[in-house]
Amino acid sequence: MNLKYSVGLDVSSKKINACMSVIDEKQKVVVKSSTIICNTLKGFATLEEWIIKQKKEAIPVVVCMEATGIYHENCAYYLHGKDFNVSIILPNKAKKYLEAIGLKSKNDSIDAKGLSQMGAEQCLEFWEPMGTFFYELRLLTRQHQNVTELKTVLKNQLSALSYAMHHLDAVNNQLEQTIILFETQLKELDKEIKAHLKSNNEVHEKAENILKMKGLGILTLSTVLAETNGFTLFNNYKQLVSYAGYDVVEAQSGTRVGKTKISKRGNSRIRRALHMPSLVVIQCKVKPFKDLYDRTYEKHAIKMKSYVAVQKKLLIMIYHLWNKNEVYDANYQLNIQEEEQKFSLGQLASEKTQLQKNSPNLEIEATQGKHPVNYRKKLPLGAANI
């Protein structure tokens, strides 16, 4: 008895290699058919007809493809619009799977077959398309990053030429004019990003609440929102942390204890966007982040490691403020701690007075941190503690 059909798609700019497999109740995967189509709207219609034709039984069908830049997007949107279950897999995850099943060679048809087997054997998460608003915001923020990188390259080149033995004004003038052009484009992109945020009242209101945080800019917030689709695909902050590559990876086996570090297997644009704000919030001494930095730096004396911890906390803070639609308050966490401390001290004092009245021989020992107090009766010398 067959359980599921799986279609693996290896997408390139011009064509798509497709392979359909089926898995039975004994977990045996059998290839049913393969084909090649054009990466065009007409080709997508042909792919849909081919899938329907090859499907002989009324069992589920999943479509698996790699995230290949932007070349896979049109096909994914088309199939999702036709009510197919689409799973988009990160290239490194697909590569590790293909190596694990023993595929030594690599070409488009082999990759399609491997993706088909992966979709049949595993229960992959289904892909949901990004909303138009955040998709357009992502185009703006990524273009801003691209122009910034080009500007940096030219500035470094111009700086290096100043140390050259011979100078040519024509080259220097071209570099300077191009840098000015990029600076103008960056200013225009900044205006476009602000205008785009204001075009959606709900997004603009939430953004204004979060931007009350000192050291966080509109470009950073826009990048985080654009790369996460407004946090719509995350059920908790742990998923977000893993998506951004801030999850901790340990290397321990037996008596060997390796280096513990963040995975960096995630969206690098988010980590890049949060780098400068992590420096600014520490410079501005924003208390929750400054306390975290001081505490972690005192432990290991590595500045960058502490800044990464601040980046992670910034991301989680943005996530919670966005979901709760609350205004950032730098003293919020501090006020909670003060109230808890006052309550604990007051409760301890009243309990101590009452216990001493009822039991004169009772000794009260307080422990550090959040552990509760321990009450011990004084025992005669030589008696065992129970």
What global pTM score does this model have? 0.76
At 277 the pLDDT is 94
Q: Phi then psi for 221, rounded to 5 degrees?
A: -60, -45
Closest by CA to 271, choosing from 321, 203, 220, 234, is: 220
Q: Buried b / exposed e across 247-270, counting CB within 10 Å, b at 16+?
A: beeeeeeeeeeeeeebeeebbebb
Q: Where exactly are the structural domains of the chain?
A: 2-121, 333-377
The CATH number of domain 2-121 is 3.40.50.970: no
The neighbouring-strand residues paired with 33 are: 20
Cα→Cα distances 144→140, 191, 223, 243, 370, Å: 6, 11, 10, 22, 46
Which residues neighbour 25 within 8 Å (Cβ) at sequence distance 6 or greater?
1, 2, 3
What gap in Å lies between CA 210 and CA 233, rounded to an integer?
20
* Amino acid (one-letter) located at 351: E
Give the helix ranges, DSSP H, for the chain.
Answer: 41-54, 73-81, 91-100, 108-121, 132-161, 169-198, 201-210, 218-228, 237-244, 268-283, 287-300, 303-324, 332-358
At 17 the pLDDT is 95
Q: Each residue's pLDDT tens digit in the chain (386 positions)?
A: 889 999 999 999 999 999 999 999 888 999 999 999 999 999 999 999 999 999 988 899 999 999 888 899 999 999 999 999 999 988 888 888 988 988 888 899 999 999 999 999 999 989 888 889 999 999 999 999 999 999 999 999 999 999 988 889 999 999 999 999 999 999 999 999 999 999 999 999 999 999 999 899 999 999 999 999 999 878 899 989 999 999 888 877 777 777 888 888 888 999 999 999 999 999 999 888 999 999 999 999 999 999 999 999 999 999 999 999 999 887 765 444 444 444 344 444 444 444 454 444 444 443 333 333 443 333 333 343 33
Written as six digits, the tokens of 372 are 């509760």
**210 burial level (CB within 10 Å; 0-12, 13-18, 19+):** buried
